[in-house]
A and B are shown apart, each in its own frame.
Chain A
Amino acid sequence: MIEFLGLTRTYGDFTAVQPLSLAVQRGEVFGFLGPNGAGKTTTIRMMMGILVPSGGRALISGLDCHTQRAEVQRHVGYLPDNPIYYDFLRGREILQFVAEMHGMERAEAGRQAVRMLEEFGLEEVVDEFAVNYSMGMKKKLGLACALIHDPEVLILDEPINGLDPRAARDVQERLKQAAASGKTIFMSTHLLDMAEKVCTRVGIIHRGELVATGTLDELRERVDQNASLERVFLSITDEDTARATAT
């Protein structure tokens, strides 16, 4: 479903993403873990055609994310780490606009927008301008925008970062539902707890390099059978630091 073929990104002399090769199968919930500044958001932005790869390609449903961006977006729903909306537009209007841009007929888009807002528990702020939403509401609205055209793939950048416990649980439930309905999910996070609850497979990226992939159990085996994901994460990213300084 999602494929990275030596995807690379540099900013001047700085390599943000080392050549990254990875495949995510249909129906997987893939957690892209890594400390701050590891290259998670850069990778996701390249998948969305927002950033241009310095080398290699990212493919979704066999389509190139850079050269065939518009076609790719038919299959993809995206939630950025910090969704920013237009001033002076209500949540409902933004959703309706998004649905229309995905080719939905106008009246149907309006109905669908209201339905999504209810489903996401945003009915009470339906007539509030979206810029006034709290972070949790903005993320929920973003998720509604990502899901409104019923995509096969969800690409989520830190979906529960900055949310209160209740909102975080809501979003996690949503994601589990989406996964159960057969969607492929690719999400970045540095919240290990979240990864443990939702992901079927994870990859750990550190300093732009994919240092480990596998199911959580496989990763645990590398360190200690009973280790928490936190210990796994720290040990893997630590090892790497040690190696990097040694060479």
Chain B
Amino acid sequence: MAPLFQSTALLVRLRLRRLVNQLTAASQPKKKPGDKTRTGNPGKKSSQVILYLGGIMMLIGFASISASAMYNLHFALDPPDTFWLTVEYSAALTVGVAFLLLILWTSTLLITIASGELAKPDWDLEWLVTLPMRSDTLLWARILERSVVNLSGTVALVPACTVIAWYSGYRWLAPFVGILAAWPMLLLVALVRTLLDTGLRLTLRPGQLRNLHAVISVLSIVTMYLAISMGLKGKADFMLGVAAMMPDWLAYTPMGLTVRAINERHFADAALLAAGVAGQVGVIVWLGVLLLRRQLRHGVVAGGARESARNSRNTDAGTSAPSRPSRASGFLSAVQRRELTLLGRDRNFLVQSLVIPLLIVGGQLLLGTSGVATSMWKDPNVLASVAFGLAAYSMSMSAFQTLNTEGHALWLLYTFPRSIEDVLKDKAKLWGVITLAYPVVIFAVGAALAPALDWKFLGAMLTALLGIPIYSFIAVALGIFGSNPLEQQQQHKVKPAYVYLYMALSALYVYAIVAPNSTQRLIFMVLSLLLAFALWQKARDQLPYLLDPDASPPARVSTSDGLIAAMLFFVSQAVAAAVIISGGRVTGAAVLISFSIGGAITYALMRYVYARAKTEGVPRIVTEGGGTRPLLGVASGVVAGIFGLAYLYAIGSLGLLEDVTRNNKSYMDLGLWVIPLGVIAAPIFEEFIFRGLIFGGLRRSFSFWPASLASAAIFAILHPALAIVPVFVLGLATAWTYERTRSLLAPMIVHAVYNAAVIMVPMLFV
């Protein structure tokens, strides 16, 4: 027994050390030369915190689900009016709870196998058998070790057993009882998992193994949902029905005996039942080890490291002639064709990127309490949101992972006379189109079931469909920051913070779908498009550094900085206004001061960050060596101002102006304060953000016209609806002046002259 204990302890320590290393590796700064950490993104501390919090949340979540599952089982299986809390369970309830444990056990087993090493080419047993220990000892140690180190099992089974113990009157001892009671079941998980992965590796070809792994990962999600559904109100009927049909002998299986042992009040009986569990599990594991030894009687020889094309039936082997280009593939680039080939051959890739998202979103909808699953067929906005959400979620597994699918073969892309950006664009387009399949199907069904196919349906559908290619680009761009293609560990290939960021941005787009009118929809779509460009630009800076472990790109002003600055400006302005006004009357002075504070904070912060990062291309108010050309500013300001006045006159003569002034009382209440606001504060801060950062950032990647039109558009849509047209023209005039002078002084003058004209001329003459 001593060598068994020792080797188990060794294996457990090895496994735990690995787990701890995995969890902490990223958060410890490493100083070793030639180290593989980038100086640009030194740690992932925040994601570690998320990980720990997530673990605790999951334990609590499973405990609460188990508790409500037990309530549901009680109401379904026990006769009405019986009181069950802290009393012995009825025979029916015992079977029901045993069934709950059985389902949790099954899903734990499947998840363990799916997340385990089944599909990995390396098999650690091949290494372990070289250690100087008897094979018996090794196998026992391996099973014991796997029963102790099993995160998903612990998260699912320990809370459930703890809840059973709580309701059996153990109260604060319940967690300890829970851990003790869960362990035999975890031992069984470890046994079955070891038997399966050993047996499967010995008998199946690697290709089949990967396919099986894909199937198991799908099944694991389905059973997990079934288990969770038992604890949900109104969703549990199916599983409760199954539980009611369970045979009585379930009470004599390890799960049933575990339930009875926990629930039993008399110590002697409880000990007897516990001994029964121990005996059963002991015998099963002993038999399992015998079977394992039989499996390994010819030695530890895996079928082969990778899938072989030659002896696999499902690939068209033997065709050495180059495949003829089919008509459909003529539209595709070499990269896109390669991606599709891999998708067709690699079941794991297919399932991970296309099937699992469907299952997860579908499961959420069916199990969720929001009633979306039924209301989506009646309300086109909900339907479109679901369609877009599914596609966006699926792209977090596909488009977001473009670099990870290249993996260690990424070097090949660096040998081609094409920019990496082009290759990634090809992939973004491909996933943008493939992913359209889900919403197209959903809308087809939706159209068949919809009460009416009206503009509302069409508008929602178009918004969702147009959003998908945009978000495909956003996903690829964020994936460039959010993935570690050279990482060996599957779970470290993605940086969670970027996935969450992508999800949050996708959720924003849902607002575009449910927006009350088409103008707002359009605004949101323009903003998303601009966001896609901005992120793509940031990503492009990153591309030459992808395979560089140490260097990061030099900091440059980019469009995304401008978008962030604009947001910061609005938020800080709103906060300042809230503090200054704080319940009092909105005065012109207060507006001026809060506007100026918000602008100054944004300006100072951006300048500070740029100075810290030694950023290139920071906009200047006056360029060195003159050339600021204030007169050019005055001239364009006069032109823009005349346009603005003509516009005011035109809508005034149409009678629209009165409506606006009536609705916008506060604007008129500013009094003379509006003059310094419009002529001094607004030009300084808004020119810095909209011309200096946004137009300047866009100008890095685009020629003058697209950059000026896009920056003028975003400048315009952030103004009141009536002002959009003249402000757009002002945006163009200032961008043109900035382009000509390369300094911010002239556009600031344009802005000031325009504002002076549209504010003061009506004051003087109307």
For residue A12, which residue of chain B has the nearest CB?
B33
Q: Separation in Å of the B456 CB from the closest CB of chain A?
A: 45
Question: Mask for B547-558, Cβ within 8 A of A = 1, else 0?
Answer: 111110000000
Cβ contacts under 8 Å, A93 to chain B: 338, 341
Give Cα A144–Cα B324 distance, bound, in whole angstroms: 22
Q: Beyond A51-B551, A52-B551, A73-B417, list 4 extra A-B contacts (CB 8 Å).
A: A13-B33, A73-B414, A103-B417, A107-B324
Interchain CA distance A67-B406 in the complex, whole Å: 23
Please, which residues of chain A bring their CB within 8 A of the CB of B199?
none
B345 lies within 8 A of chain A by Cβ: yes
- Is B412 an interface residue, CB under 8 A from the partner? yes
Q: How far is the CB of B681 from chain A (nearest CB, A)?
A: 41
Which of A49, A114, A127 touches B544 (beta carbons < 8 Å)? A49
Cβ-defined contact, B34 with A114, below 8 A = no
**How far, in whole Å, are A12 and B30 apart by their CA atoms in the complex?**
11
Stretch at the interface among A78-86, A164-172, A234-242: A78-86
Q: Check A78 against B338 for contact (C-beta < 8 Å).
A: no
Bound form: Cα–Cα A73–B305 in Å: 33
Determine whether B127 belongs to the interface, using a CB cutoff of 8 Å to chain A: no
Whole-angstrom distance between the Cβ of A124 and the nearest chain B Cβ: 10
Closest residue of chain B to A49 (Cβ to Cβ) is B414
Residues of A within 8 A of B653 (CB): none
- Does B35 have its Cβ within 8 Å of any Cβ on chain A? yes
**30 sampled A-B residue pairs with Cβ under 8 A:** A11-B549, A12-B550, A48-B414, A48-B415, A50-B411, A52-B548, A70-B416, A70-B419, A73-B416, A78-B415, A84-B407, A84-B408, A86-B338, A86-B406, A86-B407, A86-B412, A87-B307, A87-B342, A88-B307, A88-B345, A89-B341, A89-B342, A92-B322, A97-B334, A98-B415, A101-B417, A110-B323, A127-B320, A131-B306, A132-B305
Contacts of B35 in A (CB 8 A): 11-12
**Are A97 and B338 in contact (CB-based, < 8 A)?**
yes
Instruction: Knowing A13-B33, A54-B551, A129-B307, say if A92 contacts B415 (CB, 8 Å).
Output: no
- Which A122-146 residues have a C-beta within 8 angstroms of B? 123, 126-129, 131-132, 145-146
Is the C-beta of A231 less than 8 angstroms from some C-beta in chain B? no
A123 to B551: give the CA distance in the assembly, Å: 41
Contact B346 A12 (CB under 8 A): no
Residue contact B417 to A127, C-beta cutoff 8 Å: no
Q: B548 to A85, Cβ gap below 8 A?
A: no
- When C-beta atoms are compared, the residue in chain A nearest to B550 turns out to be A11
Partner of A50, one of B310, B345, B414: B414
Q: Contacting B417 at CB < 8 Å: which of A74, A87, A107?
A: A74
Chain A positions 89 through 104: 1 when the CB is less than 8 Å from some CB of chain B, otherwise 0: 1101100111011110
A176 within 8 A of B: no
Q: Does A106 contact B (CB under 8 A)?
A: yes
Report the minimum CB–CB distance from B542 to chain A (whole Å).
Answer: 11
Cβ contacts under 8 Å, A114 to chain B: 320-322
Chain B residues with Cβ under 8 A from A92's Cβ? 320, 322
Judged by a CB distance under 8 angstroms, whether A174 is at the interface is: no
Output the least CB separation between B32 and chain A (Å): 8
Q: Most chain-A Cβ atoms within 10 A of its Cβ — which of B318, B322, B544?
A: B322
For residue A69, CB closer than 8 A to chain B, the reply is: yes
A residues 1-40 with Cβ under 8 Å of B?
10-14, 16
Q: Does A71 contact B (CB under 8 A)?
A: yes
Which of A52, A73, A88, A90 has the most C-beta atoms of chain B within 10 angstroms of its own C-beta? Answer: A88
Chain A neighbourhood of B325, CB < 8 A: 106-107
CB < 8 Å: which of B308, B334, B335, B412 contacts A128? Answer: B308
Q: Once the chains bind, are A84 and B322 in contact (CB under 8 Å)?
A: no
Q: How far is the CA of A96 from the CA of B412 in the complex (A)?
A: 13
- Residues of A within 8 Å of B345, CB to CB, are 88
The answer for the CA separation of A119 and B188 in the assembled complex, in Å, is 55
Partner of B318, one of A102, A123, A127: A127
A127-B550 contact given A85-B409, A100-B334, A132-B305, CB 8 Å threshold:
no
B-contacting residues of A (Cβ < 8 Å)?
Answer: 10-14, 16, 45, 48-52, 54, 66, 69-74, 76-78, 80, 83-90, 92-93, 96-98, 100-103, 106-107, 109-111, 113-114, 123, 126-129, 131-132, 145-146
Residues of B near A103 (CB, < 8 A) are 417
Q: Is B304 an interface residue (CB 8 A)?
A: yes
- Closest Cβ neighbor of A75 among chain B residues: B417
- Whether B417 and A51, one on each chain, are in contact in the complex, defined by CB atoms closer than 8 angstroms, is no
A145 and B547 contact, CB distance less than 8 A:
no
Cβ contacts under 8 Å, A51 to chain B: 547-548, 551
Interface residues of B (CB under 8 A from A): 31, 33-35, 39, 304-310, 317-325, 334-335, 338, 341-342, 345-346, 406-409, 411-412, 414-419, 544-545, 547-551
On whether the beta carbons of A88 and B319 are closer than 8 Å, the reply is no
In the complex, chain A residues whose CB is within 8 Å of the CB of B341: 88-89, 93
Are A11 and B34 closer than 8 Å at their CB atoms?
A: yes
Q: Considering the complex, give the chain B residue whose CB is closest to the CB of A37.
A: B34
A69 touches B544 (CB 8 A): yes
> Measured between alpha carbons, how far is A60 from B545 in the docked complex, in Å?
20
**Which residue of A has the minimal Cβ distance to B346?**
A88
CB-CB < 8 A to B417: which residues of A?
Answer: 70-74, 101-103
Q: Do the beta carbons of A101 and B418 come within 8 Å of each other? A: yes
B544 touches A126 (CB 8 A): no
Complex A-B, nearest 6 residue pairs according to Cβ-Cβ distance, in ascending order: A110-B322, A14-B33, A100-B334, A84-B408, A101-B416, A88-B345
The CA-CA distance from A132 to B411 in the complex, in Å, is: 19
Docked-complex contact A129 and B33, CB < 8 angstroms: no
**Chain B residue with Cβ nearest A91:** B309
Best-buried of B319, B324, B335, B414 by chain A (most CB within 10 Å): B414
Interface-centre pick from B323, B325, B415 (highest chain A CB count, 10 A): B415
Min CB–CB distance A46 → chain B (angstroms) = 9
A50:B547 contact, CB within 8 angstroms: yes
- CA A107 – CA B338 in complex, angstroms? 15
Distance to closest chain B CB from A142 (angstroms)? 10
Q: How far is the CA of A86 from the CA of B341 in the complex (A)?
A: 11
- Are B544 and A52 in contact, with the CB atoms below 8 A? yes
Given the complex, which residues of B lie within 8 Å of A87, measured CB to CB?
Answer: 306-307, 342, 346
Instruction: Say whether A12 contacts B338, CB under 8 Å.
Output: no
Inter-chain contacts of A128 with B (CB < 8 A): 308-310
Q: Which residues of B contact A85 (CB under 8 A)?
A: 409, 412
Which chain A positions have C-beta within 8 A of B309? Answer: 90, 127-129
**Measured between alpha carbons, how far is A33 from B305 in the docked complex, in Å?**
34
When distances are taken between beta carbons in the complex, the residues of chain A under 8 Å from B34 are 11, 14, 16
Are the CB atoms of B39 and A12 closer together than 8 Å? yes
Q: When the two chains form their complex, are residues A127 and B317 in contact, meaning their CB atoms are under 8 A apart?
A: yes
If A12-B31, A84-B409, A128-B310 touch, whether A50 touches B322 (CB-CB below 8 Å) is: no
Question: Which of chain B's residues have a CB closer than 8 A to the CB of A13?
Answer: 33
Bound form: Cα–Cα A54–B549 in Å: 13
Residues of B within 8 A of A74 (CB): 417
Contact A132 to B306, CB < 8 A, known contacts A11-B34, A48-B415, A73-B416: yes
Assess whether B322 is in contact with A113, with CB atoms less than 8 Å apart. Answer: yes
Report the Cα distance A106→B324, complex, angstroms: 9
A139 vs chain B, min Cβ distance (A): 14
Residues of chain A within 8 A of B319, CB atoms compared:
127
Contact partners of B334 in chain A: CB under 8 A? 97, 100-101, 106
Cross-chain contact B415 with A126 (CB below 8 angstroms) = no
State A90–B417 Cα separation when bound (angstroms).
22
A132 touching B308 by the CB < 8 A rule? Answer: yes
Among the interface residues A11, A77, A85, which one has the most CB atoms of the partner chain B within 10 A?
A11
Chain B residues positioned under 8 Å from A123 (CB to CB): 320
Task: State in angstroms the CA–CA spacing of A126 and B407 once bound together.
Answer: 23
A89: chain B residues at CB < 8 Å are 338, 341-342
Complex contacts, A98 vs chain B, CB 8 Å? 412, 415-416
Interchain CB contact under 8 A, B338 and A129:
no
Which residues of A sit under 8 angstroms from B317, Cβ to Cβ?
127
Q: B409 to A145, Cβ gap below 8 A?
A: no
Residue of A nearest to B304 (CB): A132
Question: CA–CA, A92 to B321, complex, Å?
Answer: 9
Q: Shortest beta-carbon distance, A50 to chain B, in Å?
A: 5
Chain B residues near A80 (CB, 8 Å)?
A: 411
